[in-house]
Homo-oligomer: A and B are copies of this chain.
Amino acid sequence: MTTHVLISEVGPRDGLQAMKRTMPTALKRAWIDALYASGLREIEVGSFVSPKLLPQMADTADIVAHARTKPDLTVAVLVPNLKGAIAAFASGAHKITIPVSVTEAHLMANIRKTHADIIEDVRQIVALRNDTAPGTSIEAGLSVAFGCTLAGAVSDDESMRIAHTMADLGVDEVGLSDTTGYANPRQVARLFKRLMAELGDRAGGAHFHNTRGQGMANVLAALDAGVTTFDASLGGLGGCPYAPGATGNVVTEDLVYLLETMGCDTGIDIDGLIAARKVLADALPGEALYGHVPDAGLQKGFVYADGRMPEPRDTFACTPETI
Contact = CB atoms under 8 A, between A and B. Distances in A.
A30 interface: no
Given A254-B213, A258-B217, A301-B153, A243 B295 contact: yes
| A contacts with B: majority SS | loop
A42 to B, nearest CB: 15
A12 interface: no
Interface residues of A, number: 79
Interface stretch (A60-68, A116-124, A127-135, A175-183): A175-183
A316 B242 contact: yes
Given A217-B217, A323-B97, A323-B141, A246 B296 contact: yes
A242 B315 CA distance: 11
A150 interface: yes
Contact of A185 (B14, B215, B254, B262): B262
A30 B110 CA distance: 45
B292 A246 contact: yes
Contacts of A211: 292, 296
Given A143-B323, A213-B251, A217-B219, A184 B261 contact: yes
Residue with the greatest number of chain B CB neighbours at <10 A, chosen from A251, A257, A321:
A321
Highest count of chain B CB atoms <10 Å: which of A153, A245, A295: A295
A286 interface: no
Contact of A80 (B110, B185, B251, B322): B322
A99 interface: yes
Given A321-B110, A323-B97, A212 B299 contact: yes
Contacts of A210: 292
Contact of A240 (B141, B251, B316): B316
Contacts of A101: 320
Contacts of A219: 217
Contact of A258 (B141, B184, B241, B317): B184
16 contacts: A18-B321, A99-B322, A101-B320, A106-B320, A143-B322, A152-B301, A153-B300, A177-B323, A182-B299, A213-B292, A214-B216, A217-B220, A240-B318, A242-B319, A243-B297, A246-B316
